Amino acid sequence: MRYFIEPGYVSLNKKGEELCGDRVETIYHDGTMTTVLADGMGSGVKANILSTLTSKIISTIMASGLSIQDCVETVAQTLPICKVRQVAYSTFTILQIGVTGDAYMVQFDNPLCVLLRNGKHYDYPVEVNVVDGKTIYETRMKVELGDVFVMFSDGVPHAGIGITMNLGWQQENVIKQLEEQYSPDDSAKSTAAKLADVANALYLGEPGDDTTVAVMKVREKQTVSIMFGPPSNSEDDIPVTKKFMETDGIKIVSGGTTSKIVSRYLGKEVRTCLDYIDPKIPPYGMMDGVDLVSEGVLTLGHVMEMSNMIVSQNNTDLSWLQKKDGASIIAKYLFEYATDVNFFVGRAMNPAHQNPNLPLDLSIKLKIVEVLSKNLELMGKRVNVEYH
C-alpha cells in the first residue's frame, strides 16, 4: 500500500524575539518525505542561523541517501561549538517516511518524538548509538495508516515553568494532552496548532522559549477538485465538465455561470442553502452529483485570505474549522481533508465584471488560484491546475 505523508508545523517565537530559534525543514525526494526539526542554541538571530543551517544541511544530506554519520560529521564541521558552554550548537530530530511505509527517525538532544497510533501513545523501537561523540537515538519501523508522529522543541515540555507550573509541562503531560486532543480527522497542521496553543496558554501568551511542534501524519490519498469559471471557448463546456465529473473525491463548483454549465450537464438543479448567513460571504448551494456549489471570485477570494492565515507558521487559531459558511467549508475541504487538489480554471471573462465599478477580472481569478496553489503546496498537498 502506498501512503500519503502529510507534514505540518507551528512555531511560536520566544517573547521579545522577532526570529524563531527553531527551524523546521521538509523536503520530498524519491518517494520519501523528510522533516527536520532543529533547535538552535539560545534564541533570536544566532539561534535562528544555527537551526536554519542545521536543518538545511541535514535535510539535504538525508534526502541524498547519505547516512546519519555523514549528517552529524558535516554539521559538526560546519557549525561552531559554543566557546562558553561547550555544548551543542543545535539539537535536532529527523524523520523520514517513504510512501511504502518505511520510517527512519534520528533524535539528538530534542524531547523524544511522540507517536500516536489509533489515538494512543505507542512505544516505538529505539536504538542508542554514539556518533562522533554524540548520543543518537535511532528508530527503524513500519508505519500504519493513521499514525501521527509529533516532534517538538524543548519549549513544549518547558511550557509554564515557573509561571503556571513549577517544573514545566513535562513529557508525560504532553503525551496525555496529545491523546486527549486527538481526532482522526485532524490534519498534521491542526494537530501541531492544538498542542502549540496549549503550550502558549501555559506561558500565559508570552513564551519563555522558542516553541515548535512539527507533525507528520500517515494518510490515504483524498482528492478535492474545484471547477472555477467557464472555459474561454463555450465548445469546451461539456468536455471540461465531463473531465471534472470523472475525478475522484470531493467536487466543488464555484461561480454562477460555472454552476449553470454543470447543472445543464447533470440535469440537476442548484438548491441554495440559507442556513448559515454571513454578510461578507455569499450563500452556498447544493446540487446532486457535486458536494458544494459556491459563488465564484468573492467566495474563493475569502478562501485565499483564510489560506494565508492557515499556513502561517505561528497560527494556532482553529476557530475557522467550526464555521459553516461557504468559504470556511471550502477551506476545510482543501486544507484539512485533501491530499491532492485539482483546479479546473476557466479563462472566460464574466460580463458582470466588466463594470468599472466592479474591478474584478480574469487576473484576480488567476491570482486567487496562484495563491491557493502555493499555500496548499506549503502544506504538503499535491496540486494540479488546468486552464481552459
CATH of the domain at 195: 3.60.40.10
> Could you report the per-residue pLDDT of 260-295, keeping only the tens digit for each?
999 999 999 999 887 767 788 999 999 999 999 999
Map grid coordinates 502561517 to a residue.
312
> Could you report the per-residue pLDDT of 314-333, keeping only the tens digit for each?
999 999 999 999 999 999 99
Question: Residue 359 has what pLDDT?
Answer: 46
> Could you report the per-residue pLDDT of 23-63, keeping only the tens digit for each?
999 988 888 899 999 998 778 888 888 888 888 888 888 87
For residue 270, what are the CA distances in angstroms to 219, 256, 294? 33, 10, 10
Domain C-terminal end among 193, 219, 245: 219
**Domain containing residue 325: CATH number:** 3.40.50
Confidence of residue 360 (pLDDT cuts 50, 70, 90): low
Confidence of residue 358 (pLDDT cuts 50, 70, 90): very low
Claim to verify: residue 80 and residue 199 sit in the same structural domain: yes
Residues of the domain holding 341 = 223-387
Domain C-terminal end among 219, 242, 269: 219
Claim to verify: residue 189 and residue 282 sit in the same structural domain: no
Domain C-terminal end among 186, 202, 219: 219
Claim to verify: residue 268 and residue 180 sit in the same structural domain: no
Confidence of residue 134 (pLDDT cuts 50, 70, 90): confident
Claim to verify: residue 289 and residue 346 sit in the same structural domain: yes
Confidence of residue 355 (pLDDT cuts 50, 70, 90): low
> Could you report the per-residue pLDDT of 75-111, keeping only the tens digit for each?
777 776 665 555 557 889 999 999 999 999 999 889 9
State how far the Cα of 201 lies from the Cα of 207, in Å rounded to an integer.
9
Average pLDDT, the chain: 90
Average confidence (pLDDT) over 140-162: 93
Claim to verify: residue 179 and residue 256 sit in the same structural domain: no
> Could you report the per-residue pLDDT of 372-388, keeping only the tens digit for each?
999 999 999 999 999 99
Claim to verify: residue 212 and residue 233 sit in the same structural domain: no
Question: Residue 87 has what pLDDT?
Answer: 57
Q: In which order are the strands placed within the sheet that holds 4-12?
A: 4-12, 211-219, 148-152, 114-117, 120-121
Model confidence at 127: pLDDT above 80 = yes
State how far the Cα of 336 lies from the Cα of 334, in Å rounded to an integer.
6
